[in-house]
Amino acid sequence: MHRTTYELSVSKAFRSFIFTTLAVSSPFYLSSLGYNSIQVGIALFVSMASSSIIVYAFPHLNIRNKPRMFLLASLLSIGLLLLILEHNIIFYIIAVIIGGVSLSGRDLTANLAIEQYTISYYETERKSKNHAFSLYNFSAYGVAAIASFSLYFYKVPDYNLLFGIDLIMALGQFIPYALVKFPNTIRKSSRVRVDDPEVASNIKSIKYLFSMDAFGAGIVNTAIIALWFEYVYKITLSEAGILFLIVNIVTAISIILSSKLSNRMGVVRTMVYTHIISNVFLLMIPIIHSLIISEVFLFLRQTTSQMDVPARDSFTNTIIPEEYRVTANSTFNGLRTASMVPGPIISSILIDSLPGAVFYSAGSVKLLYDILFFKKYRNFRKQ
């Protein structure tokens, strides 16, 4: 693999540490300030809405890719500095808005489109591309496991320390960005409007399908799962750290296996088959009111939950021609982020009234996505 893949995997790992600690800790942090589950949901909603706007707007800045990445790293650092300086929900929301932080626990930042384009620019062969995106995503979940484990030591939460470590990670992004030679983006248009009807049709279909999956994911993002376990089983931040340590270790291992499956049975079947298995386990998490049983089904869900991610990255960066990839990936990531926005509001209301419905509704939507995606792209064989 090209050295750029390793460098950008490091930058993604830094962000993963930040977003994992913020997502898992946010329900506990806001609860410590006296806010209930619905108010926590509102804060998560605002953070995700603002993140969506940034992802949409950022590609329209008329600057080269390297300065763009430095700007994003700077904004994230400023946002984290604000979290250290002031502790109230207003400052918290302002900080995540400035930093472009989605408290979903997932990296849906404006960085992704350029990083994915850069990797696909240097990794042109199909198998190499599959391995590259597996490494890129493995780095995120591997570091997320470390981030989760770090929360175990906050038996008496020190949120200034937590935010301070995250600030160091944000500043760390400048190192790989300084080393990477970002290619100039090839653009035929400032919008995803193409002459080729097949490409235009694929972009349209993919963005609607990904939006459906993201809507379901927004209902059960990392912060919501942490909030659900806190509300239903009264776990602490330290206990949540161990819970998500196991979640992320299992996920990281599955990410490694994803490229092997993709090379063997194709990216589409890898995406769909693994996703269906994970969503069945997702539906089973609240069936029996037992912390251990709920945790076991959550861990089983994670065995295949994210195996579709490297395959999906490889799929979109293969089916979409090079000249449209940054704009298309920005559109996909922006729509995914926007589609996740309603999730925290829906989930917080359900947690307050019918907690199990959080997983039933998310699992049903995501299973429908699997069926529709497979129906549309089951014959995809492009190398």
Task: Mention every residue, 6+ apart, whose C-beta is less than 8 A from residue 234.
Answer: none
pLDDT band at 186 (very low <50, low <70, confident <90, very high): low
Nearest Cα to 104, choosing from 244, 282, 225, 255? 225
Q: Is residue 15 part of a domain?
A: yes
Indicate whether 41 pLDDT > 70.
Answer: yes
Q: How far apart are CA 292 and CA 301, in angstroms?
A: 14
Quick: pLDDT tens for 251-264. 888 887 877 888 88
Average pLDDT, the chain: 88
Q: Is residue 272 part of a domain?
A: yes
Q: How far apart are CA 169 and CA 269, in angstroms?
A: 36
Q: How far apart are CA 149 and CA 143, in angstroms?
A: 10
pLDDT at residue 101, rounded to an integer: 84
Q: Is residue 132 part of a domain?
A: yes
pLDDT at residue 383, rounded to an integer: 45
Q: How far apart are CA 182 and CA 361, in angstroms?
A: 41
How many C-beta neighbours within 10 Å does residue 35 have? 17
pLDDT at residue 185, rounded to an integer: 63
Instruction: Quote the radius of gyration of the chain (alpha carbons, Å).
Output: 19
Which segment of 23-37, 49-63, 238-252 scores lowest on mean pLDDT? 49-63
Indicate whether 265 pLDDT > 70.
Answer: yes
Quick: pLDDT tens for 93-137. 889 888 888 787 878 788 888 898 899 899 888 788 878 988 898
Indicate whether 191 pLDDT > 80.
Answer: no
More confident residue, 314 or 245: 245
Residues in the chain: 383
Question: What number is the average pLDDT over the span 331-345?
Answer: 85
Q: What is the CATH number of the domain that holds 272?
A: 1.20.1250.20
Q: Is residue 191 part of a domain?
A: no
Give this prediction's pTM: 0.81
Indicate whether 228 pLDDT > 50.
Answer: yes
More confident residue, 310 or 182: 182
CA 314 vs CA 73, 120, 123, 277, 329: distances in Å? 25, 8, 10, 21, 12
Q: How far apart are CA 218 and CA 73, in angstroms?
A: 24
Cβ burial, residue 245 (10 Å; 0-12/13-18/19+): buried
For the record, the structure tokens of 153 come out as 């030591």
Q: How far apart are CA 276 and CA 290, in angstroms?
A: 24
Q: Is residue 176 part of a domain?
A: yes
CA 82 vs CA 87, 90, 124, 270: distances in Å? 9, 11, 41, 41
CB of 237 within 8 A of CB of 154?
yes
Quick: pLDDT tens for 271-308. 999 999 999 999 999 999 999 999 999 999 999 988 88
Quick: pLDDT tens for 8-24. 999 999 999 999 999 99
Torsion sign, CA atoms 127, 254, 175, 322: positive
Q: Is residue 356 part of a domain?
A: yes
What is the total count of domains within the chain?
1
Q: Is residue 373 part of a domain?
A: yes
Range of the domain at 263: 3-182+196-377
Please name the helix (run of DSSP H) or strand (run of DSSP E) that holds residue 129, with its range, or none: helix 126-151
- Residue type present at position 199: V
CB of 201 within 8 A of CB of 357?
no
Q: Is residue 261 part of a domain?
A: yes
CB of 218 within 8 A of CB of 342?
yes
pLDDT band at 192 (very low <50, low <70, confident <90, very high): very low
